[in-house]
Structure 1
Amino acid sequence: MTSARRTIHTANADIAVADTGGTGTPVLLIHGNSNGKDVFREQLEAPELRNLRLIAMDLPGHGDSSDAVDPAAYSIAGYADAAFAVLEGLGVAEAVVMGWSLGGHIGIEMLSRRLGVRGLMIVGTPPTATGILGLMRGFHVSLGLLLATRARLAPVEMRRFAAICFGDAADERVMQMIARTDVRARPALFWSMMKGMSADQRSTVEQAPEPIAVVNGDNEPFARLDYLEGIQYGNLWRGRCHVLGGAGHAPFLQTPAAFNELLGAFVADVAARPQAAPTTIGQCFA
Protein backbone atom coordinates (compact mmCIF):
# COMPACT_ATOMS: atom_id res chain seq x y z
CA MET A 1 0.00 0.00 0.00
CA THR A 2 1.06 3.58 -0.51
CA SER A 3 0.41 6.27 2.07
CA ALA A 4 0.01 10.01 1.62
CA ARG A 5 2.11 12.26 3.84
CA ARG A 6 0.28 15.13 5.46
CA THR A 7 0.83 17.72 8.17
CA ILE A 8 -1.89 18.52 10.71
CA HIS A 9 -1.43 21.92 12.34
CA THR A 10 -2.37 21.97 16.03
CA ALA A 11 -2.04 24.54 18.79
CA ASN A 12 1.08 22.88 20.20
CA ALA A 13 2.85 21.33 17.21
CA ASP A 14 2.68 20.51 13.51
CA ILE A 15 1.97 16.78 13.35
CA ALA A 16 3.33 14.63 10.52
CA VAL A 17 0.95 11.90 9.39
CA ALA A 18 1.05 8.95 6.99
CA ASP A 19 -2.44 8.05 5.76
CA THR A 20 -3.24 5.13 3.42
CA GLY A 21 -6.67 6.67 2.75
CA GLY A 22 -9.65 4.81 1.36
CA THR A 23 -13.02 3.94 2.81
CA GLY A 24 -11.92 1.16 5.17
CA THR A 25 -12.18 1.32 8.94
CA PRO A 26 -9.80 4.04 10.20
CA VAL A 27 -7.03 2.69 12.42
CA LEU A 28 -4.79 5.18 14.25
CA LEU A 29 -1.28 3.82 14.91
CA ILE A 30 0.54 5.52 17.80
CA HIS A 31 4.23 4.83 18.34
CA GLY A 32 6.28 4.59 21.52
CA ASN A 33 8.73 6.80 23.40
CA SER A 34 11.59 8.18 21.24
CA ASN A 35 10.33 6.56 18.04
CA GLY A 36 8.08 7.54 15.14
CA LYS A 37 5.53 6.44 12.59
CA ASP A 38 8.16 4.62 10.50
CA VAL A 39 8.13 1.75 13.01
CA PHE A 40 4.75 0.79 11.50
CA ARG A 41 6.08 0.33 7.97
CA GLU A 42 5.22 -3.39 8.04
CA GLN A 43 1.58 -2.40 8.58
CA LEU A 44 1.44 0.63 6.27
CA GLU A 45 2.89 -1.44 3.41
CA ALA A 46 1.08 -4.72 4.14
CA PRO A 47 -1.21 -5.94 1.32
CA GLU A 48 -3.22 -8.00 3.84
CA LEU A 49 -4.26 -4.75 5.57
CA ARG A 50 -5.16 -2.84 2.40
CA ASN A 51 -8.86 -2.95 3.32
CA LEU A 52 -8.14 -0.66 6.29
CA ARG A 53 -7.43 3.04 6.42
CA LEU A 54 -4.18 3.14 8.38
CA ILE A 55 -3.17 6.46 9.92
CA ALA A 56 0.26 6.69 11.55
CA MET A 57 1.32 9.89 13.31
CA ASP A 58 4.56 11.27 14.69
CA LEU A 59 3.92 12.53 18.21
CA PRO A 60 5.02 16.11 18.99
CA GLY A 61 8.79 16.21 19.39
CA HIS A 62 9.22 12.98 17.42
CA GLY A 63 9.91 12.00 13.82
CA ASP A 64 8.87 14.58 11.25
CA SER A 65 6.58 16.47 13.64
CA SER A 66 7.73 19.76 15.12
CA ASP A 67 8.75 20.10 18.74
CA ALA A 68 5.96 21.14 21.08
CA VAL A 69 5.55 24.82 21.82
CA ASP A 70 4.70 23.98 25.44
CA PRO A 71 6.61 21.04 26.99
CA ALA A 72 3.47 20.23 29.00
CA ALA A 73 2.33 18.62 25.75
CA TYR A 74 4.86 15.85 26.49
CA SER A 75 2.46 14.02 28.79
CA ILE A 76 -0.08 11.24 28.29
CA ALA A 77 -2.93 13.76 28.28
CA GLY A 78 -1.04 16.16 25.98
CA TYR A 79 -0.22 13.42 23.50
CA ALA A 80 -3.86 12.28 23.56
CA ASP A 81 -4.90 15.84 22.69
CA ALA A 82 -2.54 15.68 19.69
CA ALA A 83 -3.98 12.33 18.59
CA PHE A 84 -7.54 13.63 18.75
CA ALA A 85 -6.45 16.74 16.82
CA VAL A 86 -5.04 14.50 14.06
CA LEU A 87 -8.31 12.58 13.75
CA GLU A 88 -10.30 15.80 13.74
CA GLY A 89 -7.98 17.32 11.13
CA LEU A 90 -8.50 14.28 8.90
CA GLY A 91 -12.27 14.37 9.35
CA VAL A 92 -12.33 11.02 11.17
CA ALA A 93 -15.12 10.88 13.75
CA GLU A 94 -14.36 7.39 15.08
CA ALA A 95 -11.38 5.07 14.81
CA VAL A 96 -9.80 1.94 16.17
CA VAL A 97 -6.55 2.80 17.98
CA MET A 98 -3.45 0.60 18.05
CA GLY A 99 -0.99 1.96 20.58
CA TRP A 100 2.49 0.61 21.18
CA SER A 101 4.23 1.18 24.53
CA LEU A 102 3.76 4.92 25.23
CA GLY A 103 1.21 4.85 22.39
CA GLY A 104 -0.85 2.33 24.32
CA HIS A 105 -1.01 4.63 27.34
CA ILE A 106 -2.13 7.41 25.01
CA GLY A 107 -4.80 5.11 23.59
CA ILE A 108 -6.07 4.29 27.10
CA GLU A 109 -6.25 8.02 27.87
CA MET A 110 -8.25 8.52 24.67
CA LEU A 111 -10.56 5.66 25.65
CA SER A 112 -11.14 7.21 29.09
CA ARG A 113 -12.63 10.31 27.46
CA ARG A 114 -15.41 8.25 25.88
CA LEU A 115 -15.02 9.97 22.52
CA GLY A 116 -14.08 8.58 19.14
CA VAL A 117 -12.42 5.26 20.07
CA ARG A 118 -14.37 2.19 18.90
CA GLY A 119 -11.74 -0.31 19.98
CA LEU A 120 -8.19 -0.34 21.35
CA MET A 121 -5.22 -2.65 20.82
CA ILE A 122 -2.35 -2.17 23.26
CA VAL A 123 1.12 -3.58 22.66
CA GLY A 124 3.88 -3.49 25.30
CA THR A 125 1.66 -1.35 27.53
CA PRO A 126 0.66 -2.21 31.10
CA PRO A 127 -2.49 -0.28 32.15
CA THR A 128 -1.40 0.84 35.60
CA ALA A 129 -3.17 2.32 38.58
CA THR A 130 -2.18 5.86 39.55
CA GLY A 131 0.88 6.47 41.71
CA ILE A 132 4.40 5.10 41.85
CA LEU A 133 3.28 1.75 43.30
CA GLY A 134 0.83 1.30 40.46
CA LEU A 135 3.60 1.91 37.92
CA MET A 136 5.99 -0.49 39.65
CA ARG A 137 3.42 -3.28 39.62
CA GLY A 138 3.02 -2.99 35.86
CA PHE A 139 6.61 -2.47 34.71
CA HIS A 140 9.90 -4.31 35.00
CA VAL A 141 12.41 -1.90 36.54
CA SER A 142 15.30 -2.06 34.08
CA LEU A 143 18.01 -0.15 32.23
CA GLY A 144 15.64 0.32 29.31
CA LEU A 145 13.10 2.03 31.55
CA LEU A 146 15.81 4.32 32.93
CA LEU A 147 17.01 5.28 29.43
CA ALA A 148 13.42 6.14 28.50
CA THR A 149 13.54 8.98 31.07
CA ARG A 150 16.87 10.60 30.13
CA ALA A 151 17.02 13.94 28.31
CA ARG A 152 20.15 13.19 26.28
CA LEU A 153 21.41 9.76 25.30
CA ALA A 154 24.99 9.06 24.25
CA PRO A 155 25.38 7.00 21.07
CA VAL A 156 26.10 3.84 23.08
CA GLU A 157 22.95 4.45 25.14
CA MET A 158 20.87 4.96 22.00
CA ARG A 159 22.13 1.66 20.62
CA ARG A 160 21.29 -0.06 23.90
CA PHE A 161 17.80 1.44 23.98
CA ALA A 162 17.21 0.45 20.35
CA ALA A 163 18.34 -3.13 21.05
CA ILE A 164 16.04 -3.40 24.08
CA CYS A 165 13.06 -2.10 22.12
CA PHE A 166 13.62 -3.84 18.78
CA GLY A 167 16.17 -6.63 19.18
CA ASP A 168 17.53 -7.70 15.81
CA ALA A 169 15.07 -5.37 14.07
CA ALA A 170 16.96 -2.30 15.33
CA ASP A 171 18.55 -0.46 12.41
CA GLU A 172 19.83 2.98 11.44
CA ARG A 173 16.27 4.28 11.02
CA VAL A 174 15.57 3.45 14.66
CA MET A 175 18.75 5.20 15.75
CA GLN A 176 17.76 8.31 13.79
CA MET A 177 14.31 8.38 15.43
CA ILE A 178 15.84 8.12 18.92
CA ALA A 179 18.40 10.83 18.16
CA ARG A 180 15.76 13.17 16.70
CA THR A 181 13.49 13.13 19.79
CA ASP A 182 13.16 16.50 21.54
CA VAL A 183 15.44 16.39 24.60
CA ARG A 184 12.58 17.81 26.68
CA ALA A 185 10.21 14.96 25.80
CA ARG A 186 11.52 12.01 27.83
CA PRO A 187 12.00 13.86 31.17
CA ALA A 188 8.68 15.71 30.81
CA LEU A 189 6.84 12.44 30.19
CA PHE A 190 8.53 10.79 33.17
CA TRP A 191 7.66 13.57 35.59
CA SER A 192 4.09 13.78 34.33
CA MET A 193 3.67 10.05 34.98
CA MET A 194 5.23 10.38 38.44
CA LYS A 195 2.71 13.10 39.28
CA GLY A 196 -0.10 10.84 38.08
CA MET A 197 -1.87 10.37 34.79
CA SER A 198 -5.18 12.14 34.32
CA ALA A 199 -7.02 8.80 34.29
CA ASP A 200 -6.44 5.64 36.29
CA GLN A 201 -5.51 3.41 33.38
CA ARG A 202 -6.23 0.10 35.07
CA SER A 203 -9.71 1.24 36.06
CA THR A 204 -10.28 2.53 32.53
CA VAL A 205 -9.64 -0.84 30.87
CA GLU A 206 -11.58 -2.67 33.58
CA GLN A 207 -14.65 -0.51 33.02
CA ALA A 208 -14.55 0.23 29.29
CA PRO A 209 -17.28 -1.40 27.18
CA GLU A 210 -15.20 -1.04 24.01
CA PRO A 211 -13.20 -4.11 22.90
CA ILE A 212 -9.59 -4.12 24.06
CA ALA A 213 -6.98 -6.38 22.46
CA VAL A 214 -3.80 -7.06 24.42
CA VAL A 215 -0.88 -8.23 22.27
CA ASN A 216 2.73 -8.75 23.37
CA GLY A 217 5.87 -10.61 22.43
CA ASP A 218 6.91 -13.50 24.62
CA ASN A 219 10.17 -11.65 25.38
CA GLU A 220 8.50 -8.34 26.33
CA PRO A 221 11.14 -6.37 28.31
CA PHE A 222 9.09 -3.55 29.86
CA ALA A 223 5.53 -4.66 30.66
CA ARG A 224 4.97 -7.50 33.14
CA LEU A 225 2.99 -10.16 31.27
CA ASP A 226 1.68 -11.70 34.50
CA TYR A 227 0.34 -8.29 35.50
CA LEU A 228 -1.44 -7.92 32.16
CA GLU A 229 -2.98 -11.39 32.57
CA GLY A 230 -4.29 -10.48 36.02
CA ILE A 231 -6.38 -7.49 34.94
CA GLN A 232 -10.17 -7.93 34.83
CA TYR A 233 -10.80 -6.17 31.51
CA GLY A 234 -14.28 -4.89 30.83
CA ASN A 235 -14.28 -6.33 27.29
CA LEU A 236 -11.12 -8.32 26.52
CA TRP A 237 -11.02 -9.33 22.85
CA ARG A 238 -11.41 -13.09 22.43
CA GLY A 239 -11.27 -13.43 26.22
CA ARG A 240 -7.49 -13.61 26.51
CA CYS A 241 -4.20 -11.76 26.14
CA HIS A 242 -2.24 -12.69 23.01
CA VAL A 243 1.46 -13.52 23.20
CA LEU A 244 3.49 -13.85 20.00
CA GLY A 245 6.47 -16.19 20.06
CA GLY A 246 9.82 -14.98 18.84
CA ALA A 247 9.04 -11.32 19.53
CA GLY A 248 10.00 -8.77 22.15
CA HIS A 249 8.76 -5.23 22.67
CA ALA A 250 7.89 -4.61 18.99
CA PRO A 251 6.01 -7.66 17.62
CA PHE A 252 4.50 -5.54 14.81
CA LEU A 253 8.05 -5.21 13.40
CA GLN A 254 9.65 -8.41 14.67
CA THR A 255 6.85 -10.84 13.71
CA PRO A 256 4.73 -8.73 11.33
CA ALA A 257 2.80 -11.55 9.62
CA ALA A 258 1.41 -12.90 12.90
CA PHE A 259 0.80 -9.41 14.24
CA ASN A 260 -1.00 -8.19 11.10
CA GLU A 261 -3.28 -11.21 11.22
CA LEU A 262 -4.34 -10.28 14.75
CA LEU A 263 -4.71 -6.59 13.91
CA GLY A 264 -6.85 -7.30 10.86
CA ALA A 265 -9.07 -9.73 12.77
CA PHE A 266 -9.49 -7.32 15.68
CA VAL A 267 -10.48 -4.40 13.47
CA ALA A 268 -12.93 -6.61 11.56
CA ASP A 269 -14.58 -7.70 14.82
CA VAL A 270 -14.80 -4.11 16.06
CA ALA A 271 -16.25 -2.92 12.74
CA ALA A 272 -18.92 -5.64 12.91
CA ARG A 273 -20.19 -4.36 16.26
CA PRO A 274 -23.17 -1.99 16.28
CA GLN A 275 -21.89 1.55 15.93
CA ALA A 276 -22.56 3.97 18.77
CA ALA A 277 -24.27 7.30 18.23
CA PRO A 278 -21.95 9.76 16.43
CA THR A 279 -19.52 11.67 18.62
CA THR A 280 -17.65 14.86 18.01
CA ILE A 281 -13.92 14.57 18.57
CA GLY A 282 -13.75 18.34 18.77
CA GLN A 283 -15.58 18.07 22.11
CA CYS A 284 -12.21 16.97 23.57
CA PHE A 285 -10.97 20.52 23.21
CA ALA A 286 -14.09 22.31 24.46
Structure 2
Amino acid sequence: MLDSQTIVTNHGAVRYTDTGGSGFPVLLIHGSSFSRRVFERQFDSELARRWRLIALDLPGHGDSGNAAQPGSTYTITGFADCLEAFAEQLNLKRLAVFGWSLGGHVAIEWMSRSTRIRGLMLSGAPPISRGIIGMLRAFHPSFDLLLTTKQTFTERDAARFSALCFGAAEPAPFTDLILRTDGLVRSTFGQSMVRGDGADQRRTIEASDVPVAFVDGADDPFVRLGYLSGLHVPEPFGDGPTVLAGVGHAPFWTRPDAFNRLLDQFLETVAAGAASAWQAHVRRVTARARA
Protein backbone atom coordinates (compact mmCIF):
# COMPACT_ATOMS: atom_id res chain seq x y z
CA MET A 1 0.00 0.00 0.00
CA LEU A 2 1.00 3.68 -0.23
CA ASP A 3 2.87 5.61 2.40
CA SER A 4 0.74 6.25 5.45
CA GLN A 5 0.30 9.01 7.99
CA THR A 6 -0.90 9.36 11.57
CA ILE A 7 -3.30 11.88 13.04
CA VAL A 8 -4.27 12.26 16.67
CA THR A 9 -7.96 12.24 17.57
CA ASN A 10 -9.73 12.41 20.91
CA HIS A 11 -9.82 8.60 20.72
CA GLY A 12 -6.08 8.21 20.18
CA ALA A 13 -3.57 8.07 17.33
CA VAL A 14 -5.07 6.86 14.04
CA ARG A 15 -2.97 5.55 11.17
CA TYR A 16 -4.34 5.89 7.65
CA THR A 17 -3.50 5.60 3.95
CA ASP A 18 -4.70 8.19 1.44
CA THR A 19 -4.12 8.13 -2.32
CA GLY A 20 -4.85 11.86 -2.51
CA GLY A 21 -5.80 13.41 -5.82
CA SER A 22 -8.92 15.15 -7.03
CA GLY A 23 -11.18 12.10 -7.32
CA PHE A 24 -14.30 11.86 -5.18
CA PRO A 25 -13.19 10.51 -1.78
CA VAL A 26 -14.26 7.12 -0.43
CA LEU A 27 -13.37 5.93 3.05
CA LEU A 28 -12.89 2.17 3.48
CA ILE A 29 -13.62 0.92 7.01
CA HIS A 30 -12.40 -2.53 8.03
CA GLY A 31 -14.03 -5.13 10.26
CA SER A 32 -13.28 -6.22 13.81
CA SER A 33 -9.73 -7.48 14.44
CA PHE A 34 -8.35 -6.44 11.06
CA SER A 35 -6.97 -3.20 9.59
CA ARG A 36 -6.73 -1.14 6.42
CA ARG A 37 -4.44 -3.83 5.00
CA VAL A 38 -7.48 -5.91 4.03
CA PHE A 39 -8.14 -3.36 1.26
CA GLU A 40 -4.86 -4.02 -0.58
CA ARG A 41 -6.78 -5.32 -3.61
CA GLN A 42 -8.66 -2.04 -3.90
CA PHE A 43 -5.58 0.17 -3.57
CA ASP A 44 -3.79 -1.99 -6.12
CA SER A 45 -6.46 -1.46 -8.78
CA GLU A 46 -7.89 1.07 -11.18
CA LEU A 47 -10.04 2.38 -8.31
CA ALA A 48 -6.99 4.08 -6.83
CA ARG A 49 -6.44 6.00 -10.07
CA ARG A 50 -10.05 7.09 -10.52
CA TRP A 51 -11.04 7.92 -6.95
CA ARG A 52 -9.44 9.18 -3.77
CA LEU A 53 -9.17 6.04 -1.65
CA ILE A 54 -8.73 6.46 2.09
CA ALA A 55 -8.45 3.64 4.62
CA LEU A 56 -7.73 3.89 8.33
CA ASP A 57 -7.00 1.57 11.21
CA LEU A 58 -9.67 2.02 13.87
CA PRO A 59 -8.39 2.48 17.43
CA GLY A 60 -7.20 -0.81 18.88
CA HIS A 61 -6.38 -2.20 15.42
CA GLY A 62 -3.38 -2.41 13.10
CA ASP A 63 -0.97 0.50 13.37
CA SER A 64 -3.31 2.74 15.35
CA GLY A 65 -2.98 3.08 19.11
CA ASN A 66 -5.11 1.30 21.66
CA ALA A 67 -7.78 3.43 23.28
CA ALA A 68 -7.02 5.17 26.57
CA GLN A 69 -10.70 4.76 27.46
CA PRO A 70 -11.78 1.50 25.80
CA GLY A 71 -15.18 1.49 27.47
CA SER A 72 -16.20 4.57 25.50
CA THR A 73 -14.05 4.34 22.35
CA TYR A 74 -14.68 0.68 21.48
CA THR A 75 -18.43 1.14 21.17
CA ILE A 76 -20.48 1.79 18.05
CA THR A 77 -20.94 5.41 19.09
CA GLY A 78 -17.29 5.82 20.11
CA PHE A 79 -15.96 4.55 16.79
CA ALA A 80 -18.46 6.76 14.92
CA ASP A 81 -17.26 9.76 16.91
CA CYS A 82 -13.67 8.86 16.00
CA LEU A 83 -14.60 8.75 12.29
CA GLU A 84 -16.22 12.17 12.50
CA ALA A 85 -13.09 13.60 14.13
CA PHE A 86 -10.95 11.90 11.47
CA ALA A 87 -13.03 13.33 8.61
CA GLU A 88 -12.93 16.78 10.19
CA GLN A 89 -9.13 16.74 10.36
CA LEU A 90 -8.87 15.64 6.73
CA ASN A 91 -11.46 18.28 5.74
CA LEU A 92 -13.70 15.65 4.13
CA LYS A 93 -16.90 17.62 3.73
CA ARG A 94 -18.42 15.11 1.28
CA LEU A 95 -17.45 11.49 0.85
CA ALA A 96 -18.65 8.00 0.11
CA VAL A 97 -18.08 5.19 2.59
CA PHE A 98 -17.59 1.45 2.27
CA GLY A 99 -18.06 -0.37 5.56
CA TRP A 100 -17.26 -4.03 6.10
CA SER A 101 -18.68 -6.00 9.03
CA LEU A 102 -18.01 -3.97 12.21
CA GLY A 103 -16.96 -1.10 9.97
CA GLY A 104 -20.34 -1.16 8.27
CA HIS A 105 -22.26 -0.95 11.53
CA VAL A 106 -20.08 1.95 12.64
CA ALA A 107 -20.62 3.67 9.28
CA ILE A 108 -24.39 3.44 9.69
CA GLU A 109 -24.16 5.04 13.12
CA TRP A 110 -21.88 7.76 11.72
CA MET A 111 -24.34 8.43 8.88
CA SER A 112 -27.17 8.84 11.39
CA ARG A 113 -25.40 11.84 12.92
CA SER A 114 -23.40 13.39 10.06
CA THR A 115 -24.17 15.10 6.76
CA ARG A 116 -20.78 14.23 5.24
CA ILE A 117 -21.73 10.82 3.88
CA ARG A 118 -23.20 11.03 0.36
CA GLY A 119 -23.32 7.29 -0.31
CA LEU A 120 -22.84 4.10 1.70
CA MET A 121 -21.91 0.60 0.53
CA LEU A 122 -22.02 -2.25 3.02
CA SER A 123 -20.73 -5.83 3.11
CA GLY A 124 -21.32 -8.25 5.97
CA ALA A 125 -23.12 -5.57 7.98
CA PRO A 126 -26.92 -6.00 7.99
CA PRO A 127 -28.54 -2.89 9.49
CA ILE A 128 -30.14 -4.19 12.67
CA SER A 129 -32.92 -2.94 14.86
CA ARG A 130 -31.90 -2.29 18.46
CA GLY A 131 -31.29 -5.13 20.87
CA ILE A 132 -30.74 -8.86 20.83
CA ILE A 133 -33.92 -9.64 18.85
CA GLY A 134 -32.80 -7.36 16.05
CA MET A 135 -29.43 -9.11 15.97
CA LEU A 136 -30.99 -12.59 15.86
CA ARG A 137 -33.07 -11.59 12.86
CA ALA A 138 -30.03 -10.40 10.94
CA PHE A 139 -27.36 -12.94 11.93
CA HIS A 140 -27.07 -16.72 12.03
CA PRO A 141 -26.65 -17.67 15.71
CA SER A 142 -23.65 -19.98 16.06
CA PHE A 143 -20.63 -20.71 18.23
CA ASP A 144 -18.49 -19.16 15.51
CA LEU A 145 -20.38 -15.89 15.90
CA LEU A 146 -19.26 -15.83 19.54
CA LEU A 147 -15.67 -15.38 18.34
CA THR A 148 -16.57 -11.83 17.39
CA THR A 149 -17.01 -11.03 21.10
CA LYS A 150 -14.19 -13.15 22.59
CA GLN A 151 -11.61 -10.99 24.31
CA THR A 152 -8.55 -13.25 24.34
CA PHE A 153 -7.60 -15.09 21.16
CA THR A 154 -5.26 -18.05 20.84
CA GLU A 155 -3.43 -18.63 17.57
CA ARG A 156 -6.01 -21.32 16.82
CA ASP A 157 -8.83 -18.80 17.41
CA ALA A 158 -7.11 -16.34 15.07
CA ALA A 159 -6.78 -18.95 12.32
CA ARG A 160 -10.43 -19.93 12.72
CA PHE A 161 -11.62 -16.33 12.62
CA SER A 162 -9.53 -15.65 9.53
CA ALA A 163 -11.03 -18.69 7.81
CA LEU A 164 -14.55 -17.56 8.67
CA CYS A 165 -13.91 -14.12 7.18
CA PHE A 166 -11.66 -14.90 4.22
CA GLY A 167 -12.22 -18.58 3.46
CA ALA A 168 -10.10 -21.61 4.17
CA ALA A 169 -6.92 -20.32 2.52
CA GLU A 170 -3.55 -21.62 3.67
CA PRO A 171 -1.86 -19.97 5.37
CA ALA A 172 -4.74 -18.06 6.93
CA PRO A 173 -4.45 -14.38 5.95
CA PHE A 174 -4.10 -11.54 8.44
CA THR A 175 -3.74 -13.67 11.59
CA ASP A 176 -1.05 -11.22 12.72
CA LEU A 177 -3.65 -8.43 12.64
CA ILE A 178 -6.13 -10.51 14.60
CA LEU A 179 -3.57 -11.30 17.31
CA ARG A 180 -2.43 -7.65 17.44
CA THR A 181 -5.96 -6.30 18.01
CA ASP A 182 -6.82 -5.08 21.49
CA GLY A 183 -9.13 -7.87 22.69
CA LEU A 184 -11.26 -5.29 24.50
CA VAL A 185 -12.50 -4.20 21.06
CA ARG A 186 -14.35 -7.49 20.55
CA SER A 187 -15.86 -7.76 24.01
CA THR A 188 -16.76 -4.07 24.35
CA PHE A 189 -18.19 -3.69 20.85
CA GLY A 190 -20.25 -6.85 21.24
CA GLN A 191 -21.80 -5.48 24.42
CA SER A 192 -22.49 -2.19 22.67
CA MET A 193 -24.36 -3.96 19.86
CA VAL A 194 -26.42 -6.06 22.27
CA ARG A 195 -27.33 -2.98 24.32
CA GLY A 196 -28.50 -1.27 21.17
CA ASP A 197 -26.26 1.77 21.55
CA GLY A 198 -26.73 4.55 19.06
CA ALA A 199 -29.34 4.91 16.36
CA ASP A 200 -31.68 2.20 15.17
CA GLN A 201 -29.67 1.00 12.17
CA ARG A 202 -32.57 -0.38 10.18
CA ARG A 203 -34.56 2.83 10.50
CA THR A 204 -31.48 4.88 9.62
CA ILE A 205 -30.90 2.94 6.41
CA GLU A 206 -34.55 2.79 5.36
CA ALA A 207 -34.93 6.55 5.91
CA SER A 208 -31.67 7.45 4.15
CA ASP A 209 -31.77 10.14 1.48
CA VAL A 210 -28.42 9.06 0.01
CA PRO A 211 -27.66 5.93 -2.06
CA VAL A 212 -27.15 2.74 -0.04
CA ALA A 213 -25.90 -0.50 -1.59
CA PHE A 214 -25.38 -4.00 -0.20
CA VAL A 215 -22.77 -6.32 -1.71
CA ASP A 216 -22.59 -9.65 0.10
CA GLY A 217 -21.29 -13.14 -0.39
CA ALA A 218 -23.71 -16.00 -0.97
CA ASP A 219 -21.73 -18.09 1.53
CA ASP A 220 -21.41 -15.51 4.29
CA PRO A 221 -21.31 -17.56 7.53
CA PHE A 222 -22.69 -14.77 9.67
CA VAL A 223 -25.35 -12.80 7.74
CA ARG A 224 -28.91 -13.89 6.97
CA LEU A 225 -29.21 -12.79 3.36
CA GLY A 226 -33.00 -13.08 3.50
CA TYR A 227 -33.01 -10.32 6.07
CA LEU A 228 -31.37 -7.95 3.61
CA SER A 229 -34.03 -8.72 0.99
CA GLY A 230 -36.69 -7.56 3.44
CA LEU A 231 -35.26 -4.08 3.82
CA HIS A 232 -37.13 -1.19 2.20
CA VAL A 233 -34.13 0.37 0.49
CA PRO A 234 -33.94 1.41 -3.18
CA GLU A 235 -30.89 -0.42 -4.54
CA PRO A 236 -28.55 1.32 -7.03
CA PHE A 237 -27.84 -2.04 -8.72
CA GLY A 238 -31.38 -3.40 -9.04
CA ASP A 239 -34.28 -4.62 -6.94
CA GLY A 240 -32.32 -6.14 -4.06
CA PRO A 241 -28.92 -6.68 -2.48
CA THR A 242 -26.11 -7.82 -4.77
CA VAL A 243 -25.07 -11.36 -3.82
CA LEU A 244 -21.85 -12.77 -5.25
CA ALA A 245 -21.74 -16.54 -5.73
CA GLY A 246 -18.89 -18.51 -4.23
CA VAL A 247 -18.04 -15.70 -1.83
CA GLY A 248 -18.11 -15.57 1.96
CA HIS A 249 -17.83 -12.67 4.38
CA ALA A 250 -15.26 -10.59 2.47
CA PRO A 251 -16.28 -10.10 -1.18
CA PHE A 252 -13.78 -7.26 -1.67
CA TRP A 253 -10.96 -9.73 -1.00
CA THR A 254 -12.31 -12.98 -2.45
CA ARG A 255 -13.63 -11.54 -5.73
CA PRO A 256 -11.92 -8.16 -6.03
CA ASP A 257 -12.55 -7.73 -9.77
CA ALA A 258 -16.32 -8.11 -9.39
CA PHE A 259 -16.39 -6.07 -6.20
CA ASN A 260 -14.23 -3.28 -7.58
CA ARG A 261 -16.50 -2.94 -10.62
CA LEU A 262 -19.51 -2.58 -8.33
CA LEU A 263 -17.76 -0.05 -6.11
CA ASP A 264 -16.68 1.92 -9.18
CA GLN A 265 -20.27 2.02 -10.47
CA PHE A 266 -21.51 3.05 -7.05
CA LEU A 267 -19.00 5.88 -6.80
CA GLU A 268 -20.06 7.12 -10.23
CA THR A 269 -23.63 7.36 -8.92
CA VAL A 270 -22.60 9.00 -5.67
CA ALA A 271 -20.24 11.52 -7.27
CA ALA A 272 -22.87 12.57 -9.81
CA GLY A 273 -25.50 13.01 -7.12
CA ALA A 274 -23.14 14.85 -4.78
CA ALA A 275 -22.09 17.19 -7.57
CA SER A 276 -25.73 18.01 -8.34
CA ALA A 277 -26.53 18.59 -4.68
CA TRP A 278 -23.43 20.75 -4.23
CA GLN A 279 -24.25 22.85 -7.28
CA ALA A 280 -27.80 23.35 -5.99
CA HIS A 281 -26.39 24.40 -2.61
CA VAL A 282 -24.05 26.91 -4.27
CA ARG A 283 -26.94 28.36 -6.29
CA ARG A 284 -29.04 28.77 -3.12
CA VAL A 285 -26.19 30.47 -1.25
CA THR A 286 -25.49 32.77 -4.21
CA ALA A 287 -29.17 33.68 -4.53
CA ARG A 288 -29.38 34.57 -0.83
CA ALA A 289 -26.25 36.70 -1.11
CA ARG A 290 -27.72 38.65 -4.04
CA ALA A 291 -31.11 39.13 -2.40
TM-score range, shorter chain: over 0.9
Deviations 1:198-251, CA, capped at 9 Å, x for gaps: 100000111011100100011111111000011112x43233210112210001
Report the Cα distance in structure 2 between the residues aligned to 1:119 and 1:194, rounded to whole angstroms: 26
Deviation at 1:197, TM superposition (A): 2.3
How well do the aligned residues superpose, as a CA RMSD in angstroms? 1.5
Report the Cα distance in structure 1 between the residues aligned to 2:249 and 2:155, rounded to whole angstroms: 21
Which residue number in structure 1 is paired with residue 287 of structure 2?
none
Local SS of the residue matching 1:107: helix
Instruction: Give 4+ residue runs of structure 1 displaced > 4 Å after superposition.
Output: 169-173
2:206 equivalent to 1:206: yes
2:272 equivalent to 1:275: no
Task: Assess if the C-alpha contact under 8 Å between 1:87 and 1:93 holds in 2.
Answer: yes
Deviation at 1:110, TM superposition (A): 1.4
Report the Cα distance in structure 2 between the residues aligned to 1:170 and 1:33, rounded to whole angstroms: 21
- Stretches of structure 1 lacking an aligned partner (at least 5 in a row): 279-286
Local SS of the residue matching 1:266: helix
Report the Cα distance in structure 1 between the residues aligned to 2:41 and 2:35, rounded to whole angstroms: 13
Which residue number in structure 2 is paired with residue 22 of structure 1?
21
Which residue number in structure 2 is paired with residue 243 of structure 1?
243
**Count of residue correspondences:** 276
Which residue number in structure 2 is paired with residue 10 of structure 1?
9
Report the Cα distance in structure 1 between the residues aligned to 2:2 and 2:85, rounded to whole angstroms: 19
Name the TM-score, length of structure 1 as normaliser: 0.93
Q: Which has the larger radius of gyration?
A: 2
Which residue number in structure 2 is paired with residue 127 of structure 1?
127
Task: Assess if the C-alpha contact under 8 Å between 1:49 and 1:264 holds in 2.
Answer: no
Task: Assess if the C-alpha contact under 8 Å between 2:213 and 2:235 holds in 1.
Answer: yes
Report the Cα distance in structure 2 between the residues aligned to 1:204 and 1:95, rounded to whole angstroms: 18
Task: Assess if the C-alpha contact under 8 Å between 2:99 and 2:121 holds in 1.
Answer: yes
User: What one-letter code is carried by the residue in structure 2 that aligns with 1:57?
Assistant: L
Local SS of the residue matching 1:227: helix
Local SS of the residue matching 1:228: helix
Deviation at 1:169, TM superposition (A): 4.8
- Say if 1:170 and 1:185 are closer, same or farther in 2 by CA, change over 3 A: farther
- Stretches of structure 2 lacking an aligned partner (at least 5 in a row): 283-291
Q: Say which is worse superposed, 196-205 or 81-90, in terms of deviation.
A: 81-90
User: What one-letter code is carried by the residue in structure 1 that aligns with 2:131?
Assistant: G
Report the Cα distance in structure 2 between the residues aligned to 1:88 and 1:10, rounded to whole angstroms: 10
